[in-house]
Chain A
Amino acid sequence: MLFNSYTFLVFLAIVLILHNLPFSWKTKKINLLLASYIFYAAWNPPFILLLWLSTLVDYFVGKALYTQENKHRKKLLLVVSLIGNLGMLCFFKYGGFLLENFTHLVNALGVNYHPAKPNIILPAGISFYTFTTLCYTIDMYKKESKPVQSLLNFSLFVTFFPHLVAGPIVRPPQLVPQFATPRKANTQQMLQGLFLLTLGLFMKVFLADGMLSNSAIAVFSSHDTLKTIDAWMGVLAFSGQIFFDFAGYSSCAIGAALCLGFILPQNFLFPYAAVGFTDFWRRWHITLSSWLRDYLYIPLGGNRKGQVRTYINLMITMLLGGLWHGANWTFVVWGALHGFYLWVEKAFRDIRRKKLTPALAIAENNYIKSSILPSFKKPVEGSFPPESNHPKNVSNFVLALCTFFLVNVTWVFFRAPDFSSAWRLLNSMFVRNTTGTAVLSYLDITRVSIIMLVLVIAHWLMRNTRVLTVANKMSWWLLGIVWSLMLILIMLSQNATSSFIYFQF
């Protein structure tokens, strides 16, 4: 079910009514679980079986992992869980990709092998709920948290509809304790939840789909070399589109949960105001980057095994992070570019650290250790990543613009369907071409320019605060006017049915 659909509005209204009726807490949780299954099945009913399988396997394996003392059996149980989760993910998401690459490989070796193209449908949200259940079993293996005692609570943790399909990726300590005692949104939470829901829909429906997607599609689907202005505007349009699309989804998810009295972790913190790539990954898809840090980068050794290994671990993390987004080498290159940027940034920091006094170097070192990738190792309910230590001054603003520029280059690989399209677009962006094709109207160019300018400035101004903090500080009439403008523009947009970009991941 899409947040930006009439079905969801009716669904949420029913869920909110049921959640506020005087039922027992257990009944309310059962209601939420059934609602979550309906939410998922409304998209493609058969795939709910996978969700059930994943839930059952990880619930029982997780319990056994926690109590099992025999190391070999424990490892075996972990392998069972990993095979179950990653096996499903590999089959549905990477099956075609692996077969295609295998075919290329054996053909290159002279073997005439041409299998039929597999027709595998990707179950919605599989990448997200797989990571949710994986972190649970790994935590159980490492005894980092206690097993969830009730199957109902565990099922709800995995399936809770606001985060199920496209995150935020939640950890057991963030959500499971919230199921322990009765929860109902107070008036403030309900209003804030509705405000976030409006904001999320505004970002998705009006900005991403209404204002930016057509320009991005026109540029990325063109087979011609484009005029430089068109190429840049198309990439900027996608840059805005993917932010508004995904941050919009996250806002809706957090808002819907808040309306029910639950708190989900933040997923975006004004990423286009990031000063450097370490900062960027503390602000963009925070729950994924922290997951990758805690369950991939640190287990690989993190920065504990010397400089060279740190660089290697960083790159492996970013490459796999890229591949998580899609079964295509373009996503791997996108991850590699981010890995490279992080390398360069780390190298600069290492050089700078050597020039500092010993006391400052220790302080700087501590900061670096915690910030190569986003750090909230022990997330707690409603926690935010630590505040950025970059003050808002001109030099940092210039650095933020440089970061934004480089991020845009990476989006080319993320959005382009193949490498030839990506190279063609990069060529149009960086080689002055007066004979290129024009695909965007002056109106498109104006629209993209204004929105992206406002977006970057707004991110910079709000980089050290939160949306709700700003809303709380506003006078009621100003907030009312802003809220109404968003509602009006959502209703006038009428793009009620397009899917979220991250659903395909």
Chain B
Amino acid sequence: MQTSNFAKAGLLAISISAAAMISWEIHLRNTGAPISYDDNEALYADKRAMVYEPIDQATVFIGSSRIKFDLDIPTWQSITGDHAIQLSNVGSSPRPVLEDLANDENFKGRLIIDVTEAVFFSAGGLYDWKTRNKIAYYKIRTPTQRFSFQVDHVLESEFVFLDQEYYSINSMLDNLSFVSRPGVYSGNPFPVEFHPVSFERQSFMAPRFMIDTSLQNQVRAVWTRPGRVIIPPASGRALDSILNSVKFLVDKIKARGGQVLFVRTPSSGPVLQNEMKRYPRTEYWDRLLTVTGCKGIHFADYPAIANFECPEWSHLSPAQAKIFTNNMIKILQEEKGWTFNKKPD
């Protein structure tokens, strides 16, 4: 082949691939898909590196998916003037992150721990291994990974199709309506509109999710589907062991001047009923506060946040998250003695 032919092939390749990707991007935008960042190790590590900010300037949030939806970071930051650092992980217990922070002598900050009983009071969440991978990644991330993350951030801020969880070729294939094999889990059961992720690691329901009840029902069906993996609640010695380990880790942070507070974020409908049945408050939440000696906010104790109807029974909508965050700040200031640099309006 002549050089000119190879050059023509190269130009054709660039033209076709650029046209294809631009068309794909336009199509996705027309479907209303928002910009969403990959909630991967690199994004976690970027936030994890921020926990050393002074105690009066930042609050770290750890937990599972609920606090990722329920804490509206812009609301928190605008009211308190305080930096919200989101280190929670979907489907995962916060205990691995708590352990990491407690063992980090340089962390002396403010910590809010979201308690979703099913993952907090169990041997572990379904995706604890992913959280441990993120923790490990932060410790060994290389200069090249940091640089790639910065480039990735710029690109992900511009292109919808760079949502690996839903628009990578592998995810799209996995989500095809392929005959499922008995006993084998495959594909992502959640619709793409359910949980886009912001650069601050806040999850939020897309506008279409809020108006499309079939999408909401799809997620509700995941929470209640028969055969769903249910992690058995810890009890007896196993529960004592969990509580003692949490107390040990919390005490480490407190001993360095840090502050720790637990929060039980809202749920509703059958999900809440199931949680109340499996994890009676006195045996789990109340004991947690007693053993650790920490303050806590249980949504059911505060009328302003006690009666949310979660769109899919487990997480708050963006509008509800604003109300919840607003009220949580009020409770923190008025009842729990927390102070922030910026006074509420």
Most chain A beta-carbon contacts within 10 A, residue among B8, B143, B151, B170: B170
CB distance from A479 to the nearest CB of B (A): 4
**Chain A 220-239 interface 0/1 with B at a Cβ cutoff of 8 Å (1 = within):** 00000000000000000000
Task: Give the 10 A-B residue pairs with the shortest CB-CB distance, closest first.
Answer: A480-B12, A483-B13, A484-B16, A441-B186, A6-B151, A42-B144, A479-B9, A487-B17, A480-B9, A484-B13
Residues of chain B whose beta carbon lies under 8 Å from any beta carbon of chain A: 1, 3, 5-17, 20-21, 38, 42, 142-145, 147-148, 151-152, 155, 161-162, 164, 167-170, 172-174, 176, 178-184, 186-187
Is the pair B168, A492 in contact by a Cβ cutoff of 8 Å?
yes
Task: Pick 9 A–B contacts, CB within 8 A, sort by A.
Answer: A188-B3, A195-B6, A437-B183, A441-B178, A441-B184, A472-B1, A480-B9, A491-B21, A492-B172
Check if B178 sits within 8 Å of A442, measured CB to CB. Answer: yes
Q: Is the CB of A488 within 8 A of B17?
A: yes
**Interface stretch of the complex, out of A18-26, A128-136, A358-366, A494-502:** A494-502
CB neighbours of B176 from chain A (8 A): 443
Q: Pick the contact of B143: A41, A475, A481, A494 (CB < 8 A).
A: A41
Q: A473 on the interface (CB 8 Å rule)?
A: yes
Given known A-B contacts A5-B148, A476-B12, A484-B13, A492 and B142 have beta carbons under 8 A apart: no
Given A5-B148, A476-B9, A481-B16, decide whether A442 and B181 contact each other with a Cβ distance below 8 A.
yes
Nearest Cβ in chain A — how far from B183, in angstroms?
5
| B3 cross-chain contacts in A, Cβ below 8 A | 186-188, 191
Interfacial chain A residues near B161, Cβ < 8 Å:
491-492
Known: A43-B142, A188-B6, A442-B179. A488 touches B164 (CB 8 A): no
Enumerate chain A residues within 8 angstroms of B11, measured Cβ to Cβ: 480
Q: Beyond the given A441-B186, A479-B6, please list 18 additional residue pairs across the A-B interface where CB-CB is below 8 A.
A: A6-B148, A6-B155, A7-B144, A44-B142, A210-B168, A441-B180, A441-B187, A443-B186, A447-B173, A473-B1, A477-B12, A484-B20, A487-B13, A491-B17, A491-B21, A493-B170, A494-B164, A495-B168
| Total residues of chain A contacting the partner, CB 8 A | 56
Contact B10–A443 (Cβ < 8 Å): no
Q: Is the CB of B42 within 8 A of A497?
A: yes
A480 touches B16 (CB 8 A): yes
Chain B residues near A214 (CB-CB < 8 A): 170
Residues of B within 8 A of A45 (CB): 143
The CA of A437 and the CA of B179, in the complex, are separated in Å by: 18
Q: Contacts A44-B142, A442-B180, A443-B174 hold; do A493 and B152 have CB atoms under 8 A apart?
A: no
Is A35's CB within 8 Å of the partner chain B?
Answer: no
Q: Do residues A192 and B6 form an inter-chain contact, with CB atoms below 8 A?
A: yes
Q: A10 on the interface (CB 8 Å rule)?
A: yes
A32 / chain B contacts, CB cutoff of 8 Å: none
Identify which of A439, A446, A487, A489 gathers the most chain B CB atoms within 10 Å of its CB: A487
B13 CB to closest chain A CB (Å) equals 4
Contact (Cβ within 8 A) A1 B144: yes
Contact with B along A443-485 (1 / 0, CB 8 A): 1101100000000000000000000000111111101110110
CA distance A178 to B15 in the complex (A): 35
* Alpha-carbon distance A473/B5, docked complex (angstroms): 10
For window 416-455 of chain A, which residues contact chain B by CB distance below 8 Å?
437-444, 446-447
The reply on A80 being an interface residue by CB < 8 A is no
| C-alpha gap A182/B147 in the complex (Å) | 32
A78 at the interface (CB under 8 A from B): no
Q: With CB as the reference atom, state the residue of chain B lying closest to A445.
A: B181
The interface residues of chain A lying within 8 Å CB-to-CB of B142 are 42-44
CB-CB nearest in chain B for A198: B13
Roughly how many angstroms separate A446 CA and B7 CA in the complex, as a whole number? 36
Partner of A5 from B38, B144, B155, B183 at Cβ < 8 Å: B144
Given contacts A187-B7, A479-B6, A488-B20, contact A471 B1 (CB under 8 A): yes
Q: Is the CB–CB distance between A438 and B184 below 8 Å?
A: yes
Contacts of B8 in A (CB 8 A): 476-477, 480
Considering the complex, give the chain A residue whose CB is closest to the CB of B142: A43
Q: How far is the CA of A442 from the CA of B177 in the complex (A)?
A: 11
A386-422 interface (Cβ within 8 A of B): none
Q: Report how far A203 CA is from B6 CA in the complex, Å.
A: 21
A444:B186 contact, CB within 8 angstroms: yes
Check if A246 is an interface residue, CB within 8 A of chain B: no
Indicate if the CB atoms of B151 and A7 lie closer than 8 Å.
yes
Q: Least Cβ distance of B147 to chain A in Å?
A: 4
Query: Is A477 a contact of B9 with CB atoms below 8 Å?
Result: yes
Residue pair B143, A42 in contact (C-beta under 8 Å): yes
A191 adjacent to B7 (CB under 8 Å)? yes
- Distance between B173 CB and nearest chain A CB, rounded to angstroms: 6
Q: Are B178 and A443 touching (Cβ within 8 A)?
A: yes
Chain B residues whose C-beta falls within 8 Å of the C-beta of A476 in the assembled complex: 1, 5-6, 8-9, 12
What 1/0 flags go to A329-358 for Cβ under 8 Å of B?
000000000000000000000000000000
